[in-house]
Amino acid sequence: MRIAESGAIVGGGASGLGAATARRLHAHGAHVVIADQNAERGTILADELGERATFVAADVTDPDAVQAAVDVARAHPVPLRIAVSCAGIGWAGRVVGRKGAHALETFETVIRVNLIGTFNVMRLAAAVMVENEPIDSGERGVCVNTASIAAFDGQIGQIAYSASKGAIASMTLPAARDLAPVGVRVCAIAPGTFDTPLLAALPEDAREELRRVVPFPSRFGHPDEFAALVQHIVENEMLNGEVIRLDGALRMPPR
């Protein structure tokens, strides 16, 4: 799939992994819709990128808001062929902690944003992609979702986050199989510890410990390294139905 002269939508595209992805796709010629709740950051990024970049305020869990963002992408002069979902939240809490059982509302919120939000972007973008004229190989589009190594190595206190990311990993193959007949590919990236706003909130001693346990390179991942893998997935037609770990060989310990 050629990025140039393709339309793209990036859910959670105003910061972190999403912003890096929006920048990279735009730099390679895509018309990019940045869909995010953070209007300030989204507007700044769209203004920075300039022509071929549009910000649309959207809560990824809201079907109408995501449909509106998809409609903006659909109205671009090039077909919507790329959808990337990066929106997500984290929460620390044990199944039973000092204050009792894990709050059900918190668990539901993490699942709703991370899993249902991802599915919402993918399903609505794919519904547009299937109407595209196929390229010579028969391909019409590609969806890239964001899982996490927590899907496989969930730590103590990550019950909600791991459940949400594990589900994203698990739906990758059936989504790819569902959409294969119409030429739409689906992959997921499972990043390790990346230098994003989520990790920036941690104390420096905690950040240093997280950096230290990565075998090589012993550092946080850079958001542009995530974006580079998105680019490769888009461009490599044989990548389909796969969850790719991007973690410097990190396997998370229990805590």
Q: Which residues are catalytic?
A: 161
Coil vs helix vs strand at 55: strand
Dihedral pair phi/psi, residue 147, rounded to 5°: -95, -140
Dihedral pair phi/psi, residue 82, rounded to 5°: -130, 130
| The one-letter amino acid at 243 | V
The span from the CA of 33 to the CA of 54, in Å, is 5
115 touches 168 (CB < 8 A)? yes
Q: Can you name the residues that pair with 227 across neighbouring β-strands? A: none
* Encoded tokens for 175: 């989504």
* Encoded tokens for 136: 């010579």
Per-residue b or e along 200-217, where b marks 16 or more CB atoms closer than 10 Å to that residue's CB: eeeeeeebeebeeebeee
The helix/strand count (H/E) of the chain reads as 10, 9
Per-residue b or e along 103-114, where b marks 16 or more CB atoms closer than 10 Å to that residue's CB: eeeebebbbebb
Q: E-assigned strands of the chain?
A: 7-11, 31-36, 53-57, 80-85, 96-97, 100-101, 141-146, 184-191, 243-246
